[in-house]
Each structure stands twice: as structure tokens, then as C-alpha cells.
Amino acid sequence: MKLVTWNLNSIRMRMARFVAWLEREQPDVVCLQETKVEDAGFPTAELTKLGYHVATFGQRSYNGVAILSTQPLVDVTRRFGEDPQDDDGDARVIAATTHGIRVVCLYVPNGQELTSDKYPYKLAWFGRLRAYLDRTAKPTDPLVVCGDMNVTPDDRDVWSPEKWKDQIHCSAPERAALQTMTEFGLVDLFREKYPDTRAWSWWDYRGVSFFKDQGLRIDVIFGTKSIVDRTTSVAIDRTARKGQDASDHAPVIATID
């Protein structure tokens, strides 16, 4: 089965291209980020017509996540489910069980820059994520955690480690925070398969970054060991980044037997 993660940067702006892509690629599970719409405005009916079960967790203007699946979405949860006092109102986490796999779809806070107050918030968010995984899953489960991590796991995931040194998405504290999540028992499926491949999933809209292939790999599919053992391929479809009305992110596709 094919599982996809894709930051669409507004599902309403992307819908025509997205539907064409779904019809061509026929994925079984799709995790979406930055849908940027409240649930009432999400194109659920159109996707249902294409044969997908749909679970959404959106908000006005910012953030927003969703999961599509050709099989029913069971035990759908939204947020970390921590003490309501800890809820910040951001729609960044949705999870469901489908195709026999627990799927967690994430839109990690961007952080803006290292001096922003959003940066310590981002670092702390990974601690909340780890606590959430500890509460709700086991490393022996068939578990996928995927999404826009807004962190490059290491310098292999950066077009110019020199230019990006100590910049947002690439700082050591962010990478350490991401590691607190993976130490739950998660493996980066792309990096496991391709230790030496340098490939990007995001290119800045500004300037010539896509034209010059100056990108970062920040969209990642992680899996527990049982998922790693079943994964036959992982690909980033950079053609989806080309042309008019493209998201600034490309979809990442894992094939899991």
C-alpha cells in the first residue's frame, strides 16, 4: 500500500492539481498539512467521491491537518489529548488507525527564527509530541508518524549546510528535539533506504530556489521497526512542485507491503 505525506499549503488553492495527482498515483493513505481551512470548508465530499474516507482537523487561515484513506479511519484523535489547559488551539496533530497501521499526521511549528519566541515553543512541542507517543503507542506497534517536521534531520538533508548553519530548520537544538521523538522507536524511512541520497521536499517560493534545486528535506515519514521491515520504497515526487499553483512542498510516498 502507498502512504503519502504532503504539505499542500492551502487545500482550496491546490484542489484541482491534488485531485489529478490522486487519480494518477492512487495512494491508499494520504496525510495532509497546512490545509488552511476550517472543517466545514474542507472539500470532504469531493474526496469521498474519489473513494476516500476523510478525517479533518482544521482551523481558519493557518495550520490544519487531515488524513485520507481508502479504508475506514478508526479511533480518530485530534491534538495531543493532553490537559485542556495545555491546548494552544493550533490544529497540528491528527491520528487514525487504517490499513492495520496507526497513522499520526503532524504539522510541526515552524519556529520562524532562533531569536523568535516561537522557537522555544517549537522545541517544547517536540517534548509534548514524545509524551503523546509514550501515552498512546508502543514501539512494537505498526506505527507511522509523518508530516512536515520543519526540521532537517541532518546536513544530508540541506542543499547548502554552510548557508543554513544555525538557521531555522537546521539548528542543533531542533535536530536534538526531533531526536527525542525518534528515540521513541521511529526510523526515517527515506534515510534508512537511501543513506547517501540528497533529496529535498521543500523549496522556498521566494527567489530561484526551485529553479536552482536549493531545497531542504523537512517532510518525513517515520515508522516503527515492523513498518521499516515492510517498506519497499520511498520517493519524493518533485514533479509535483513544478509549474503554476504548486505547493512549496512535494509529496513523499512510501510503499509498505
Partner DNA sequence: ATGGTAGCGCTGCTA
Cell numbers found for residue 21: 495527482
Which of 255, 254, 250, 238 is CA-nearest to residue 14?
A: 250
Q: Judge whether 205 counts as a catalytic residue.
A: no
Between 79 and 102, name the residue whose CB sits nearer to DNA: 79
**Minimal distance in Å, beta carbon 118 to DNA?**
6
241 binds DNA (CB under 7 A): no
Q: Considering only 5-13, 126-134, 137-145, 224-232, which stretch makes contact with DNA by CB under 7 A?
A: 5-13
Catalytic (active site) residue 107? yes
Strand partners of residue 223: 144, 187
**Residue 205 near DNA by CB under 7 A:** yes
Q: Where are the beta strands (DSSP E) in 151-250?
A: 187-188, 219-223, 231-236
Residue 206 contacts DNA per CB under 7 A:
yes
Distance CA 215, CA 83 (A): 37
**Is residue 112 part of the contact set for DNA (CB under 7 A)?**
yes
> Closest CB to DNA among 51 and 120?
120
36 binds DNA (CB under 7 A): yes
**Which three three-digit cell numbers place residue 213?**
534545486
User: Under 8 Å CB-to-CB from 163, ≥6 apart: which residues?
Assistant: none
Choose one: 104-112, 188-196, 224-232, 233-241; the region binding DNA (CB under 7 A): 104-112
